[in-house]
Structure 1
Amino acid sequence: MNILVINAGSSSIKFQLLELPAERVVCSGMVERIGAVDAILTYETSESQHSETTSIPNHHDGLQRILRLLLDPDKGVVKDISDIDAVGHRVVHGGKEYSDTTLITQQVKEKIAELSALAPLHNPHNLEGIIVAEKLFPDAAQIAVFDTAFHQSIPVKAAKYALPAELFEKHDVQVYGFHGTSHKYVSEKAIQHLGTKSGKVISIHLGNGCSMTAIENGKSIDTSLGFAPSNGLIMGSRSGDVDHAIIFHLVNKLGYHLSDVERMISKESGMLGLTGYSDLRDIQRAAENGDQNCQLALEMNAYRIKKYIGSYAAILNGLDAIIFTAGIGENSSLLRQMVCTNLDFLGVELDRNKNDQRSNDLREIQSAESKVKILVVPTNEELEIAKQAHQLMMKRTI
């Protein structure tokens, strides 16, 4: 079964075509800088690589270009559009309604649109990818995999805010959690590696968006992102945790419009607000060259992560492993080192030589004396989406 996975962002589309159940990647690629005249399209198969810089005005054009490459007589990997059985879509916010992988209907699309108010940086673009894919792949099943689904197991004592009860009961104001597809994938890999089904694991997903999840017996029991994907850790342009009184102060005392505050917290804060850079590689280079703002931002980032490690170790009543994953988690040995320093009271001790080594595989980076495993686990959201889509397709044929 051929499943095309689409991960549509605000200015990008990641894609993979996978053959299931063999889990074979047939091709993969990415469209970056959508809307710009110098957009970048990359495409890779086992036999060839292709890259071009061109104008890609919108997501529809980006997906059309992907389709042309899939069908290209020389570079292509399918003979006809009908060879694609399903299209799996990453959707960030599924609310309380969607706790499982879901076949997309008009009702599902309307709900995704409704939830865009809670995930304005993600859901609108996820929905746009769905609408375009329906037109370009009319015979394929369109399937949504929700980032929030993995966190449905969080108990009420952790999911409910200390607000008037009717907000929870009537208006679904609660912790939803995000990056669930990634946390699910890497935690399953880690638990399999540990050889136990009852692992107490903290998964740390560090990219432009960041989150942490406490996982016990393979289930999410708490997570740092809540009602919307904006709180918790310090992110590329999102603030993470702030005292909500600051918002009232900005509006009532300093004269900010509420929409300006929303934009500030979501798009102008985090590492960008602290340093002027949103890419951690730029921040690390500047810090090495003596930029004090960048040095402080790295310290703040690591400090926030440590606070969550401590609280999650407490609610787990122990800790078997810490997982670092996603672009920063997998590649920044500096931030991993800063996070793991002075955690020996928890039994966490890093081996710096192992930490500095690079690999595309799951690896352990703790010292021989460490009581807690420290794992770097490459995430693969596209494979996880394809697996879940395949499972749904198989159920439909039974």
Structure 2
Amino acid sequence: MFILTLNCRRYSVQYQLFDWRHLVSLATGSVERIVVGDSFITHEVPGRLPEHRERDCPDHLSALKLVLDTLTDPKVGVLTSVAKIKGIGHRVVHGGEKFTQSVLIDQEVVETIEEMAKLAPLHNTPNLAGIRAAQELLSDVPQVAIFDTAFHQTMPEEAYLYPLPYEWYEKHGIRRYGFHGQSHLYAARRGAALAGVEQDRANLVTIHTGDGVSLCAIRNGKSVDTSMGLTPLEGVMMGTRCGDIDPGIIPFMMNQAGVSAPEIDLFMNQKSGVAGIVGRRVNRRIVMNEANDGDERCRLALEMESYRLRKYLGAYIAVTGKPDAIVFTYGDGWADWPVRGLALAGMEQFGIKLDTERDLMALMGGQEMLVSADDSQVKVFVLPTGEDMVLNEDVATILGWRDLPA
């Protein structure tokens, strides 16, 4: 019972092969620089050295073929045949209001994902390319769509509606949808368990960190508010996204500087956030090091990011009441995220007290850690994201495998 999960992005495909019967990951990896050239695959199998291979991948179809070829390679693979794959899970960013849970993919689902691409073109379009590639290469394998937005469909109207003309919502679906749903769901489950609270009674603030950052206010185990909105652009300051800004800036720049709508979209999504303040796209470890070396723009970027995160955190505590825990969850490469400590500094009035030594140890990543002080009224946990496990569980559930013996 092998499950292949795919996260297809604009220029990359991330994958995991999972043995559901034995609940173990067999292989993970990614194909990078799809379309743009000089593409390559990095393939990792537990207990082995990572495998790096260069292969031209002009599209997602060729990228997925490379993944399948690598998984079945006699030297580095883990499968004798792709026929061993019995289920495929696709991470899909935007499902709109139609999908409140994961679904088996059929033509209607494909058409809805395509329709929702107008709300998330940078995400749904490559998600759909991955689905079509898998349908072509593994046509007999059932495929499941797992939506980022589904977890947040429990938000009440006062949280998800914008104070705009109501007909915009009725005609165009303008509302808050939220993203990183699998990550927030996993963080909510683990946060409740670590705090010793039943999940359906847990009040939490979960924070997904990475190049994209979002917060979720969880009351009684359900999402009641989240920082990302109609698109993943809203919310806190991120790696390349601006997050919340005065919307009046957009017509001002269009009128005063002649910036076009596509250019505005590019600037806000790819040339803002930390990259906009620092002046280049760079990871936070470098930003932190250069800030320590006296670079004022890097220092400013960290302070801005942590300040805006602190504001959201305070607002969500007002929504949840005193939380049982605050849970930071990160993906690969973001265990060194330095903003956490800066954002939580000085929040003792909210019952949050960080243990700086524990927080420093958490920068090593790779495990669940308590980073709050022993006398902190609110526990703070840091843990690796479990998005892949959520995808695997949903595929198994949809395909009726959940009750199989391990």
What's the TM-score, normalizing by structure 1?
0.96
Paired residue total: 398
Matches within 5 A, 1:69-88: 69-88=70-89
Distance 2:332 2:2 in 1: 30
**Partner residue, 1:194:** 195
The answer (yes or no) to whether the contact 1:190–1:377 under 8 Å persists in 2 is no
**Partner residue, 2:349:** 345
3-state SS of 1:294 partner: helix
3-state SS of 1:98 partner: coil
Distance 2:366 2:63 in 1: 28
The answer (yes or no) to whether the contact 1:202–1:215 under 8 Å persists in 2 is yes
Equivalent AA in structure 1 for residue 329 of structure 2? T
Equivalent AA in structure 1 for residue 388 of structure 2? E
Residue 386 of structure 2 corresponds to residue 393 of structure 1: no
The answer (yes or no) to whether the contact 1:39–1:55 under 8 Å persists in 2 is yes
Q: Structure 2 residue aligned with 1:272, among 260, 272, 275?
A: 275
Deviations 1:343-392 (A, max 9, x none): 00001111111111124121101111111111001102112111111101
**Partner residue, 1:154:** 155
Deviations 1:132-152 (A, max 9, x none): 111111111111000000000
The answer (yes or no) to whether the contact 2:40–2:55 under 8 Å persists in 1 is yes
**Partner residue, 1:64:** 65
For structure 1, the residue ranges without an aligned partner over 5 or more in a row are: none
Distance 1:323 1:330, change over 3 A: farther
**Partner residue, 2:326:** 322
Equivalent AA in structure 1 for residue 249 of structure 2? I
Equivalent AA in structure 2 for residue 174 of structure 1? R
**Partner residue, 1:257:** 260
**Partner residue, 1:283:** 287
Distance 1:144 1:107 in 2: 12
Equivalent AA in structure 2 for residue 14 of structure 1? Q
The answer (yes or no) to whether the contact 1:151–1:221 under 8 Å persists in 2 is yes
Matches within 5 A, 1:1-16: 1-16=1-16
Residue 299 of structure 2 corresponds to residue 298 of structure 1: no
Distance 1:395 1:169, change over 3 A: farther
**Partner residue, 1:90:** 91
**Partner residue, 1:212:** 215
Distance 1:57 1:329 in 2: 26
Distance 1:380 1:317 in 2: 26
Matches within 5 A, 1:168-179: 168-179=169-180
Q: Structure 1 residue aligned with 2:239, among 236, 246, 256?
A: 236
The answer (yes or no) to whether the contact 1:87–1:140 under 8 Å persists in 2 is yes
3-state SS of 1:231 partner: coil
Distance 1:263 1:68, change over 3 A: same
Distance 1:79 1:258 in 2: 50
Q: What is the CA distance between 1:260 and its match in structure 2?
A: 1.2
**Greater displacement, 324-333 / 74-83:** 324-333
Residue 382 of structure 2 corresponds to residue 379 of structure 1: no
For structure 2, the residue ranges without an aligned partner over 5 or more in a row are: none
Equivalent AA in structure 1 for residue 120 of structure 2? A
CA RMSD of aligned residues (A): 1.9
3-state SS of 2:338 partner: helix
**Greater displacement, 270-279 / 28-37:** 28-37
Distance 1:243 1:328, change over 3 A: farther
Q: What is the CA distance between 1:280 and its match in structure 2?
A: 1.4
The answer (yes or no) to whether the contact 1:5–1:382 under 8 Å persists in 2 is yes
Q: What is the CA distance between 1:259 and its match in structure 2?
A: 1.6
Distance 1:339 1:277 in 2: 23
Distance 1:396 1:308 in 2: 37
The answer (yes or no) to whether the contact 2:284–2:338 under 8 Å persists in 1 is no
The answer (yes or no) to whether the contact 1:30–1:41 under 8 Å persists in 2 is yes
**Greater displacement, 219-228 / 358-367:** 358-367
The answer (yes or no) to whether the contact 1:206–1:328 under 8 Å persists in 2 is no
Q: What is the CA distance between 1:316 and its match in structure 2?
A: 0.8
**Partner residue, 1:106:** 107
**Greater displacement, 86-95 / 273-282:** 273-282
Q: What is the CA distance between 1:11 and its match in structure 2?
A: 1.2
Equivalent AA in structure 2 for residue 121 of structure 1? L
**Partner residue, 1:223:** 226
The answer (yes or no) to whether the contact 1:6–1:89 under 8 Å persists in 2 is yes
The answer (yes or no) to whether the contact 1:271–1:297 under 8 Å persists in 2 is yes
Deviations 1:212-266 (A, max 9, x none): 0011221101000011110101111111001101111111233221221111111
